Structure 1
């Protein structure tokens, strides 16, 4: 290798280290870091012409963009997802005050959580031994949360068929309530966990889906926040903090800040 080539190679490596250092110092996260570094050396794809973009976006409705979270990540059986949806709706039903769990996309929120770190107990100690916990400790189980929910959904379906000879989704509201009440009272046998613990976990997940930021898949159109008068994730309250009057603030989600950052 010539002296000129060696200098060129050294400069290239120094540029990589310098640029990589900028990225690592300014952004935390493997995905961001990897994407940023790769852009230093990967050729940029040409932008499609306006005509092509227009053709590709033809027929795409505004609702399709807003409902980007309506995609299953954990459940691979539609029937199981429907049982989850109906059970969620009975826990948080629609009424005169606002929409229920289904219209708030709560089932999708739960599905996404079960597919992620929370559903897989990624941050929990899972090596045992497992003993029944006291009331202040919560339940102790070797099962992951997504395994508990999956087993609970299957048991809801089987109990429905045993008691009413129908699928859970075919029952009327009172019959569905009766089955869920049996789980809440711990009367249904489950493996590795009590039915009461399953119901508690399900109910907690439903309420989280109602009031979590829409970025995570639930609380569609921030309707859960609107029912509570909660302002959501505001960037700042400097304009309102001196007011002596009660203010009703239009709620704002994290997704809106990401999609349309305020200047």
Structure 2
């Protein structure tokens, strides 16, 4: 198989970076979304803004407090990966600006991250995962740096070019990276899901900063009622409101 064929799931065309987040069953903002997630994110063109070396120029605001990721290099690898999955372009911010990395950090620090509400006792059958979500994500982001340094002369994942980052994520998506007690494809799937949730979930949960994800899609958020617009003949663009915004009323 040629190198181009190996990368076909993500790097076949520039638009392919959206292909691996289409048609996924995801939970966003408390709503279960199936194939509809494709229409939610696919309309954003593939014109990510690059730095001089070809990697995304988006920067993380580290003034925010992390709850789960203790090591800076782990969080930097996570942030870079989320930006590849949902990059910034001329239509709006990417995962980093939307706060997706901090959303993921917050979720992993919660009982959800430790699978507190799941049945956790074995025996585990083939295909079942013995690790909880926080363990999978921590091992996965550290493996991103490990693979990057091995393949690129000690360079960590965040400092690779965009194409190099995509190639590594492709290998994870294909299940080709060796991980303990979990397939790398499972890590990639969880990372992709959490990234999109961080971009489009209600800001109450730590992502979708300033409701910018909703504004890009003209999504009104958690409106109390639409009765004021029922008699309107023309389309009405409504300013979004989050669940937390209702506390002010």
What range is the shorter-chain TM-score in? Answer: 0.7 to 0.9
Residues 91-110 of structure 1 mapped to structure 2, 5 A cutoff: 91-110=85-104
Q: Aligned-pair distance for 1:186?
A: 0.6
Greater shift in the superposed pair: 153-162 or 249-258: 249-258
**Aligned match for 1:191, one of 168, 180, 199:** 180
Q: Aligned-pair distance for 1:87?
A: 0.5
Matching residue of 2:47: none
What TM-score comes out, normalization by structure 2 length? 0.72
| More helix per residue | 1
Unaligned runs of 5+ in 2: 1-60
Once residues 190 and 224 of structure 1 are traced to their aligned partners in structure 2, the CA distance between those partners, rounded to angstroms, is 33
Q: Which structure's CA Rg is the greater one?
A: 1
**Aligned match for 1:219, one of 208, 212, 228:** 208
**Aligned match for 2:229, one of 227, 240, 249:** 240
Residues 44-59 of structure 1 mapped to structure 2, 5 A cutoff: none
C-alpha RMSD of matched pairs (Å):
1.5
**Aligned match for 1:131, one of 122, 125, 129:** 125
The DSSP-based 3-state class of the residue aligned with 2:229 is coil
Does structure 2 retain, via aligned residues, the 8 Å contact 1:70–1:217?
A: no
Q: Aligned-pair distance for 1:255?
A: 2.2
Once residues 240 and 142 of structure 2 are traced to their aligned partners in structure 1, the CA distance between those partners, rounded to angstroms, is 37
Once residues 125 and 242 of structure 1 are traced to their aligned partners in structure 2, the CA distance between those partners, rounded to angstroms, is 49
Matching residue of 2:108: 114
Residues 1-263 of structure 1 mapped to structure 2, 5 A cutoff: 70-133=64-127, 140-165=128-153, 166-258=155-247, 260-261=248-249
What TM-score comes out, normalization by structure 1 length? 0.69
Unaligned runs of 5+ in 1: 1-66, 134-139
Q: Aligned-pair distance for 1:74?
A: 0.5
Matching residue of 2:31: none
Q: Which has the higher contact order (CA 8 A, sep 6+)?
A: 2
Q: How big is each residue's C-alpha offset from its partner over 1:103-148, in whole Å with a ceiling of 9 and x where there is no partner? A: 0010000000000021010111111221234xxxxxx211010000
Q: Aligned-pair distance for 1:244?
A: 3.5
Q: Aligned-pair distance for 1:257?
A: 1.8
Q: Aligned pair count? A: 187
Once residues 159 and 190 of structure 2 are traced to their aligned partners in structure 1, the CA distance between those partners, rounded to angstroms, is 24
Once residues 129 and 188 of structure 2 are traced to their aligned partners in structure 1, the CA distance between those partners, rounded to angstroms, is 15
Q: Aligned-pair distance for 1:184?
A: 0.4
Q: How big is each residue's C-alpha offset from its partner over 1:157-189, in whole Å with a ceiling of 9 and x where there is no partner? A: 100011002111111111111111110011101
